[in-house]
Every structure is written in structure tokens, then in C-alpha cells.
């Protein structure tokens, strides 16, 4: 039973965890290299070769040199996805500026204030909904 002591198990698990963490970082860096619009094709090829041929040093150098801009690209991409999602929701719900919901609310308000008669309100409402 003592052929593999608890401390050795701890060190094995630690090295395994660090290796998995490094793999995640390597995939993140490779995806960031291809996502970056500021890098030319040769720049992308160069960073990719450094990251893949000198894996540990290449990953560390990339994080040191381009880590801040990598975070900024992540933030821009998340903001763009969020804006696209919100635009889709607004479009699907019909609440775009000048959309039918806003126009109907304005018509109802005009009718409530007495600026429109029932007949004018119905005509405008039919025109909006058709």
C-alpha cells in the first residue's frame, strides 16, 4: 500500500493540473492569434510557430507581450456579441425605435387625450398593423 505515498500523489496531481492549465492557455492563445485582425498573415504564422515549436517559452512570451491586448479583444468580442443579442431581441420583440409597439402606444395616448376620435384611432391602428 505504501508503494505510492500521499505526497507523490499530490505532486502528480499538481503537475497534471498545471499541464491541463497550460493546454487551455495554449488553445486560448492559438484562437487569439487567428482572431486578431491587427496581425498580418506573417505575424500570425510567426506567433503560431513560436507557440507550437517552443511551447512553454512561446506561450509565456505571448502572454507577456500581447496579454493586455488579448484581454481587450475578449472584451470587444463579448460586447459585440451582447449588442448583437440585444438587437436580435429588440427585433424579435418588435421594440425597435419607431416600431409598432411604440407607435400604438403613441396612438393610444393621443386618443386618451382626446386628440383623435375613435374613428381616426381605428383607421391609424389598422394602417399600422397592416
Q: Are 66 and 60 in contact (CB under 8 A)?
A: no
Residue showing cell 503537475: 15
Q: pLDDT tier at 127 (50, 70, 90 boundaries)? A: confident
Reported pTM: 0.58
- Domain extents in the chain: 1-81, 94-130
Q: Using CB atoms within 10 A of its CB, is residue 41 exposed (0-12), middle (13-18) or buried (19+)?
A: exposed
Cα(2)–Cα(23) distance, rounded to whole angstroms? Answer: 32
Match 507523490 to its residue by C-alpha cell.
8
Q: What is the mean pLDDT of residues 47-74?
A: 91
* Alpha helices (H) along 36-117: 41-53, 55-93, 100-113
Amino acid at each position: 500500500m505504501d508503494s505510492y505515498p500521499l505526497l507523490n500523489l499530490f505532486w502528480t496531481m499538481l503537475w497534471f493540473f498545471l499541464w491541463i492549465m497550460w493546454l487551455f492557455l495554449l488553445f486560448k492563445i492559438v484562437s487569439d492569434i487567428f482572431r486578431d485582425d491587427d496581425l498580418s498573415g506573417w505575424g500570425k504564422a510567426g506567433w503560431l510557430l513560436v507557440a507550437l515549436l517552443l511551447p512553454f517559452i512561446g506561450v509565456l512570451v505571448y502572454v507577456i507581450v500581447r496579454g493586455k491586448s488579448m484581454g481587450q479583444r475578449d472584451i470587444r468580442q463579448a460586447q459585440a456579441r451582447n449588442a448583437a443579442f440585444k438587437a436580435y431581441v429588440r427585433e424579435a420583440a418588435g421594440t425597435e425605435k419607431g416600431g409598432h409597439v411604440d407607435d400604438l402606444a403613441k396612438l393610444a395616448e393621443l386618443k386618451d387625450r382626446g386628440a383623435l376620435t375613435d374613428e381616426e384611432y381605428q383607421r391609424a391602428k389598422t394602417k399600422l398593423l397592416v
